[in-house]
Amino acid sequence: METAVKLSPRQPLFHNELGVTYRQAGQFDKARQAYERALALDPACAAAVLNLGVLFDLYLGDGARALPLYERYLALSPQGDAAVTKWIADLKNRKPPASAAAAAPKKEKP
């Protein structure tokens, strides 16, 4: 895929596929960069939006960054996507990690 990107650097789908290759190899930072490059070339590249969301959610454990990407993906998908709709609901129902809950300001009791 790196060769394809070098030969056609303005092709967003090649950057997206390169991101998938990097993700599968465990090179998550490179995957993120490839997806972001695809989106810089074409902000409506639904595959890159979804793959970046999956990267943040499943591989980097950052649901807060994944959620708007999943929602954006659905907006780009006129036929909808039942699986992504479920992922969104799941993310909205997740409790924040214990470290985030501990850092949140506590409400005073009346």
What would the pLDDT profile of 47-102 be if each residue is shown by its tens digit? 999 999 999 999 999 999 999 999 999 999 989 999 999 999 999 998 776 665 55
Provide the residue ranges of all domains of the chain, joining segments of one domain with +.
Answer: 2-94
Options 1.10.20.10, 3.30.230.10, 3.40.50.300, 1.25.40.10; CATH of 2-94: 1.25.40.10
Give 104's DSSP letter.
S
d(CA 35, CA 56): 11
Give 97's DSSP letter.
P
Whole-prediction pTM value?
Answer: 0.82
